A and B are shown apart, each in its own frame.
Chain A
C-alpha cells in the first residue's frame, strides 16, 4: 500500500508544481497542447486530419482538440467532424472522443453510446459500457439488442471492461428475467422433485413443458458465459462474477463461486478485506456454500486485526452441529491471542455459537466462566457480558455461575462488566437469596466512586431486592437512594426519583406502586445474538455501500425481480449475426497447430472477414503444410517420426476438407428438416450455446451463405468431441508426437531424479472407480477405500499410484494410521503413505501410496495400523490399472504391432449390439476399464489404444476392428502374455455388455 500512497503524494505534488511554475517537465507534458495553440489559428488542417484515413492523424487531431478545449477555446465547429470518427474501431480515438464532449450534451451523447454499443469489437465494448453506466444507466432499453452480443464478447474483453459489463448485466438481468428462486421455494416443498431438478440444469429447457418456471435462455446464456471468468487472475472480475451469480443464479448453482472467492483470500489484504466482507454476507443466507472451506478461514497470528475479525465472523456463521467441536477448539487458541481486541471478539463469537447450537451451550458457558479468571481485564469483561446474555436465555440451572460471578465483583473493574454482574444478580436474586443482599451492601459502600452505568445498575439491584427481600435491604436501599439523590448526573437523579416513588410507598404515590413488582421483575425477553452482517444483504455485493454498510451517494439500488417477465423478443436481433462463425481454417489451425490468433475469440468479431478470408486462409493452410513438410525435410534424418506425423496430419486435414465440402450439399437438400446426421444435431446444439433463439432463422441464413455454414460445420465437427463426449479423448485431434529432439530437450530440463518417460501421455479422464479396502464394521469405525489415480507414481516410476481414502466413522478420533507389516510376493514393493497423526470423527483423509505390482495381478497384502488396532488389508489391482497410457502415431503403432506377433498376440471375436459398437461406446468402455491412451486412427471402424506396463515398460497395443453385423475383432499385442490374456478376457466381457 505504501506504493499507492507514494503515488498519491507524487501525483498531488505534481499537480502543484504544474500550477505554480513552468518546469521543464511540464513543458514536456503539455508539449502537444502548446504546439496546438500556437500553430492552429484556423481549424482547416484539423478538419483534414480528422477526415484522413490514418488513425494516427486522427488521434493527433483529437489530442489537439482536447488541448484547445482545455485552454477554453471554442471547438464546437469541429463537432461534426469529430462525430464522424465515432465509428472508428480504434479505442484510443473513441475514448478521447468521450472527453471531447461536454456533459451538457447528454442527448447526443446517448445517441453516440447507442451507436457504439452496436460495435462488435471487444476493444470498444468495455469503454462504451463504462460510458453508458456513467451517462445513462437508466436507459436499459439500449442494451436489449446488444445483450447477447455483450454476453458472447465478454470473455474477450479486457479485464476492467469485464468488471463494468458484468455489473451492468447484473442490473439488466434483474429487470428482464423472472426470479429463479421462486420456483425453488415451491420445489422445496416437494423434495423429490427438487432432487431431480438439481442436477439437470442442462435439461431445463428441454423438460420445460412440465414445469411452471423456465429459465429464459438469455438468462442462462449470461450465467454460462460469465462462469469461465471465475478463473480470471483479476480479483475484481472474480468478485464481479460472484456477485452476479449471487444475485441472479438459481440457489443450486451459486455454490460454484465459493472456490474462486476462497482463492482470492491469497491476495493482498485490501482485496482480502473486501472479499471477506462479501463472504460474510453470503454465509448468513447460505451457510452450505462455504462450509467445505471452513479451514481456509482459520486465523493466523500474523493477519491484521480487521481481517481476523472478519474471518471470525465467517467462522461463526459457518458453525453447525457437525463442525462446532473443531471450531471451538480453534476459538480456544484465539482467546489466548495477544491481540486483545481479537480475543474479545472471539468471546463474542463463542457466545453466538452457544446460542445458535444448543448442544454446546453448557460447554461454552463453562469455558467462558473459566475465562473469568483471566488476567486481562478486557477478556473478563467481554466474558461477563456474553455470559449475561447467555444466562438470560436459560437462567434456570445456573445459580452456581451467578454465585461465581458475584465473588468476582471485587476484582473486576471494567464498568460494563460490573454493571452486567449487578444486573444478573438483581434479575435472578431469588436464586441467590443469601448473596444478593450482601452484594448490595458492598456496592452501596462504593457507590460514590462507581461509573454511571454501574450506579444505574446498583439502583436497579436495590429496587429489585427491596421488592423481593425488603426485610434485609430496606435500609440499605434508603441509604443508596439518599446518596443518589445528590448525584452529579442528571440521569441518576432522575432514576432515583422514579424508583423511590415506586418502591417506597407513601400517600402521594399513585396506582403505579402497586405494579412495582410487575414493572421490575417482569420476564425479560432474551437478547438475540446475531451477526453484524445480517442486514448487509440489502446492498448489492461488491459495492461501496455494501462495504460501508451505509447507502453511499450514487448507489444504484439493485432492482427486484419483475412479477412477470418483460417481452423477451426485444433481444432478438433482426440481422442475424452468425456469432460463432469464425474463419474455419483459422479455427482448424488453432486447434491443430495453434498458429492462428483467431482461435482466441469465439465472437463475431471476425464476422466481417470470415467470408472474404475464407478462400485465402484455406490456401494459406495449404501453403503452410508445404512449409512444414519442407521444413521437416530440412531437419536431420533422426526426426523421421515427426515427418511421418506431419504427413499424417496433412492427410488428415485433407480428408477433413473433403468432408466439409460434402456437407453443405447435404444441408442444402435437406433444407429445414432436421437431418439425422449426428454432427448436424450437434451443430444446432452448439449454436444454441451462443445464440439460443436464433437457430431457426439461422437455418435460413445457412441456406444463403453456404460458405458460412461450411465454416460452422467444420468447426463443430472439431468441437463436438470436446464438448459433448463424457470421456474427452484426443481421437480427432492427432497430437503431433513430440519429435525426439524436442523430447530430449525436455528430458534434460526435467530435474527429477527418475528418468523422464517421454511417451507417457496424459491419462484420459474417467471417473475413478473405488474399491473397499477395509469395511467400517470390521475396522472398528475406520473405513478405507482405494482407487487408482492413473497418474505416474511420484515415488517411483515403477509403482502404481494408489489413493486411499480413510474415513473415521466412529465417534472417537483415530490416531497414528500407518502401514505396518507387509506380506508381498517376491519383487513387489510398497511405498507407504505418510503416517496420519490424527483422524477426527466423521472426517476422511486421502493418502497416497505407491505399489510395485511387478506387472502381475497378484494382490498386495499389508497391515493397516492405528494406535490401537491392526487390520490386514488387500489391494487387488485390476489388470487395466497396471498400465500407463502412451501416445504414438498410427504408423508407429503398426510398426510396433508388426514386432509383436505370434506368441505375443491374443485375439478374439466379440458379438455386440449396434449401440455398443459405436466408436463413442468403445472408446468409453476401453478407457474406463484400462488406463490406455487413444491412438488416432485413419479408419472409422478401427480403434487403437496404446499403453505400457508400469513396471517393465513393455508396450501393450489394443486394436478393435468393428466388422459388419456389429461383430468386433479384438486383438492385443504385448510381450507380457499374462497381461495380454487377462486383458483380453476382461475387455471382451466389457465390450459385449450393453
Chain B
C-alpha cells in the first residue's frame, strides 16, 4: 500500500482522482521511507541495479521485514541484519546445498529490549570507537565575492565496534555553537537538554550519531575564493573564460580535493582552455565543465583560462554560468567545534578511541 503510494506521488501524470489517502500514513512518510533503502548498501556493498538483481531474494525478504502490511516497521539496520542475514559466499553455498534461506532462526534480541538499535552479545577482539566530525559549508557567493548566504551543517558519523553494552558520553568544549541538532534515537535527549552532553548506548557498527546546524549568529569562514572573468560578446563567435581559485580562511590547513564544475549556457559549443594545475573536461552535449584541481598550493594558485567557441549568430546569454566548488579540508572543523572528551561506562575494557575532523564544501556556489 505504501509502496504503491510512492509510485503515485512520483508520477505527476497519474490521474489524481484515482489517488486515495491512507488515513494512517502521511506524505512525508511516503517520501522518507524510500530513503531507508540505503540499507541495501549495508547488505550488498552497493545499491545498484545489478546488486539488486543478483540478490533478489534477499531484497524481497528485507523489504518484507521493512514493510509490514504496507507500513514501515523494522528499518533499523541492526535488527534487519539479525532477521535477514546479509549474503556471503559461504552462506550462498550452504543455502544452495541445504535449501535453507537467509532468514534468521531467532527473533532479533534487540527489538524486545529498551535499546532496540543494539543487538546483544556483541563481541570484538579489538574494541574501537571512531567518530568523524564532518562539516559542510553551504554558501552562495555573489559576483563581487561577498557572501550572500553561508551556513555550516555538520554531522558526527560514528563507527563503534565495542563489546557488550557500552554506555558512552561525548562532550564538546563549545557546545553552544550547535544551534539545531537532530539525533540518532540512541541519544538521551534530556541529558543533552540539561548538560549539553551526548550520552548514548551506541548501535553496533556504522551510524550517524548527530547532525547539527551551527547557529547563524556566527560568521562563517569561507575557505576559498574564486576570481573569475567570463565574457560573452554579442555577435562574436568567441568568448573568454578565466578562473582562479585560491585559499582564503583555512586556519592554516591545506585545501584538498578541489573540483570546480560549471553548467555553461547552450550557446557554448566547445572550450579551449589551459590549466596550470589539474585536468579539465568539457562535455559538449551536457555543457558541463569540470576541473579537477586537487590540492590548492597557496604559493602558486591554480588557474584555468582560454577561450570558448560559441554558436554563431545567437545572442549572448543573459547570465554567466554559476560555478560550483567542492573541496575538503582535513583536520579542521570550520565552525571551531571541538570534542572535549569521550568516556565509556558499563564495560571494563579500555577501548581505542579516535576522533577525526573534516570540512567539506556542501552546496557551495559562486555566482558570476
Interface of B is mostly: mixed
Does A302 touch B at the CB level, under 8 Å?
A: yes
CA distance A597 to B194 in the complex (A): 19
Instruction: Report the bound CA distance from A553 to B20 in whole Å.
Output: 4
B309 is an interface residue with CB less than 8 A from chain A? no
A555's nearest neighbour on chain B, judged by CB, is: B21
B205 interface hit (Cβ, 8 Å): no
CB-CB nearest in chain B for A168: B24
- A-contacting 9-mer, from B4-12, B270-278, B296-304: B4-12
Whether B27 lies near A546 (C-beta < 8 A) is yes
- B111, chain A: closest CB distance, angstroms: 7
Question: Do A838 and B25 contact each other (CB < 8 Å), given the known contacts A4-B37, A95-B73, A722-B195?
Answer: no
Q: Does A134 contact B (CB under 8 A)?
A: yes
Are B7 and A8 interface neighbours, CB within 8 A? yes
A159 to B184, alpha carbons, bound, how many Å?
Answer: 11
CB proximity of B147 to chain A, nearest CB, Å? 7
A746 with B199, Cβ < 8 A, contacts A376-B318, A847-B219 known: no
If A159-B185, A631-B348 touch, whether A791 touches B174 (CB-CB below 8 Å) is yes
Question: Is A965 on the interface with B (CB-CB < 8 A)?
Answer: no
Given contacts A31-B101, A374-B318, A542-B26, contact A10 B115 (CB under 8 A): no
Given A239-B28, A300-B363, A99 contacting B23 (CB threshold 8 A)? no
Decide if A752 touches B318 in the complex (CB within 8 Å). Answer: no
- Which chain A residue lies CB-closest to B20? A553
A8-B7, A163-B26 known; A298-B148 Cβ under 8 A: yes
Residues 129-171 (chain B) with a chain A CB within 8 angstroms: 140, 142, 145-149, 151, 153, 165, 167, 169, 171
* Contact B194 A728, beta carbon cutoff 8 Å: yes
B26 touches A167 (CB 8 A): yes
- Contact call B32/A271, Cβ cutoff below 8 A: yes
Contact of B28 among A1, A28, A235 (CB under 8 A): A235
Q: Can you name 8 A-B pairs with beta carbons within 8 Å?
A: A133-B23, A233-B182, A240-B26, A266-B153, A555-B21, A749-B354, A762-B340, A791-B174
165-197 of chain B: CB within 8 A of chain A = 165, 167, 169, 171-177, 179-185, 188-190, 193-197
Interface-forming stretch among A392-400, A476-484, A737-745? A737-745
What separation, in Å, do the CA atoms of A749 and B342 have in the docked complex? 11
State how many angstroms separate the Cβ of A45 from the closest Cβ of chain B: 19
Q: Is there contact, CB below 8 Å, between A746 and B341? A: yes
Our pick among A10, A89, A260, A300 for the contact of B56 (Cβ within 8 Å) is A10
Give the interface size bracket for A toward B.
Answer: 35 or more
Partner of A160, one of B49, B72, B140, B177: B72
Given contacts A298-B149, A302-B363, A762-B173, contact A163 B107 (CB under 8 A): no
Known contacts A240-B28, A543-B21, A555-B21; decide if A845 and B101 are in contact (CB<8 Å): no
Interchain nearest-CB distance for A500 vs B (Å): 44
Q: Which residues of B contact A736 (CB under 8 A)?
A: 343
New A-B pairs, 11, CB < 8 Å, besides A10-B59, A338-B266: A7-B37, A123-B111, A158-B185, A160-B71, A167-B24, A338-B317, A375-B318, A595-B165, A600-B201, A746-B353, A762-B195
Most B CB contacts (10 A, CB to CB) among A7, A548, A722, A743 go to A7
Contact A547 B183 (CB under 8 A): no
Q: Which 8 A-B pairs have the closest CB atoms?
A: A133-B24, A553-B20, A594-B167, A239-B28, A794-B336, A336-B319, A722-B194, A791-B174
Of all chain B residues, the one with the shortest Cβ separation from A277 is B27
Q: Which A residues are CB-close (under 8 A) to B106?
A: 56
Is A545 touching B341 in the complex (CB atoms < 8 A)?
no
Distance in Å: Cβ of B281 to nearest Cβ of chain A? 18
Given A599-B188, A833-B219, A837-B147: A544 and B21 interface contact (C-beta under 8 Å): yes
B259 at the interface (CB under 8 A from A): no
How many whole Å from A311's CB to the nearest CB in chain B? 12
Which of A31, A266, A753 counts the most B-chain CB atoms under 10 A from its CB? Answer: A266
Chain B residue contacts of A330, Cβ below 8 A: 148
Q: Does B114 contact A (CB under 8 A)?
A: yes
Is A301 engaged at the interface, CB distance under 8 Å to the other chain? Answer: yes
Q: Decide: B365 and A336 in contact? CB cutoff 8 A.
A: no
A164:B263 contact, CB within 8 angstroms:
no
Q: Which of A90, A271, A337 has the most CB of B within 10 A?
A: A271
- Determine if A562 is an interface residue (Cβ-Cβ < 8 Å): no
* B63 CB within 8 Å of chain A: yes
Bits for B335-355, please: 1 = Cβ < 8 Å to A, else 0.
Answer: 010111111011010101111
**A907 sits at the interface (CB 8 A):** no
B103 to chain A, nearest CB (A): 9
Q: Quick one: which of A260-312 are within 8 Å of B by CB?
A: 260, 262-263, 266-268, 270-271, 273-275, 295-296, 298, 300-302
**Chain B residues, Cβ within 8 Å of A98:** 69
Any chain A CB within 8 A of the CB of B75?
A: yes
Return the chain B residue nearest A13 by Cβ: B56
Q: Is the interface of A mostly helix, strand, loop or mixed?
A: helix
Chain B residues within an 8 Å CB radius of A92: 107
Inter-chain contacts of A771 with B (CB < 8 A): none
Q: Report the count of interface residues on B (CB-CB < 8 A).
A: 133
Q: Is B229 an interface residue (CB 8 A)?
A: no
Q: Which of B46-93 contact A (CB under 8 A)?
A: 47, 49, 52-53, 56-57, 59-61, 63, 68-69, 71-76
Check if B194 sits within 8 Å of A594, measured CB to CB: no
Which of B27, B107, B140, B146 makes the CB contact (< 8 A) with A543?
B27
B265 adjacent to chain A (CB < 8 Å): yes
Residues in A with CB closer than 8 Å to B38 are: 3
Expressed in whole angstroms, the Cα–Cα distance for A762 and B252 within the complex equals: 26
Which of A240, A548, A761 interacts with B16 by CB under 8 Å?
A548
How distant is the Cα of A890 from the Cα of B165 in the complex, in angstroms?
30
Task: Report A-chain residues with C-beta under 8 Å of the C-beta of B172.
Answer: 762
Cβ A593 vs Cβ B346 within 8 A: yes
Closest Cβ of chain A to B160, distance in Å, is 15
Choose from B49, B115, B171, B219 the contact partner of A846 (Cβ within 8 Å). Answer: B219
B111 touches A91 (CB 8 A): yes
Q: A678 vs B183: C-alpha distance in the bound complex, in angstroms?
A: 34
For A299, give the chain B residue with the smallest CB separation.
B140
From B324, which residue of chain A is reached at the shortest CB distance? A302
**B126 CB–A CB distance under 8 Å:** no
**A29 part of interface (Cβ distance < 8 Å):** yes
**B31 interface contact, C-beta 8 A:** yes
User: Are A338 and B47 in contact (CB-based, < 8 A)?
Assistant: no
Decide if B257 is an interface residue (CB 8 Å cutoff): no
Q: Which of A1, A8, A90, A270 contacts B107 (CB 8 A)?
A: A90
Min Cβ gap B4→A in Å is 9
Contact A231 B195 (CB under 8 A): no
Residues of B within 8 A of A971 (CB): none
The closest CB in chain A to the CB of B220 belongs to A834
**For A593, what are the chain B residues with a Cβ–Cβ distance below 8 Å?**
167, 345-346
Contact pick for B114, options A14, A156, A164, A746, CB 8 Å: A156
Residue of A nearest to B362 (CB): A266
> Of B9, B72, B175, which contacts A547 at CB under 8 A?
B9
Contact B21 A95 (CB under 8 A): no
- Chain B positions within 8 Å of A348 at CB level: none
| Cα-based distance from A599 to B187 in the complex (angstroms) | 11
Residues of A within 8 A of B221 (CB): 834
Known contacts A301-B263, A600-B114: A3-B47 contact under CB 8 Å: yes
CB-CB < 8 A to B213: which residues of A? 263
Q: Is the CB of B23 within 8 A of A1?
A: no
What A residues does B353 contact at CB under 8 A?
745-746, 749
Question: Does residue A130 face the partner (Cβ distance < 8 Å to B)?
Answer: yes
Does A808 have its Cβ within 8 Å of any Cβ on chain B? no
**Contact residues of A between 707 and 727, Cβ < 8 Å to B:** 722-723
Q: Contact at A302–B365, with CB atoms within 8 Å?
A: yes
A330 to B142, CA, bound (A): 10
Contact of B211 among A233, A298, A601, A848 (CB under 8 A): A233
Q: Which residues of A contact B183 (CB under 8 A)?
A: 231-233
Closest A residue, CB atoms, query B115 = A597
Complex Cα distance, B25 from A234, in Å, reads 14
Determine if A301 and B27 form an interchain contact, defined as CB atoms under 8 angstroms apart: no
Given contacts A228-B189, A595-B345, A597-B113, contact A130 B146 (CB under 8 A): no
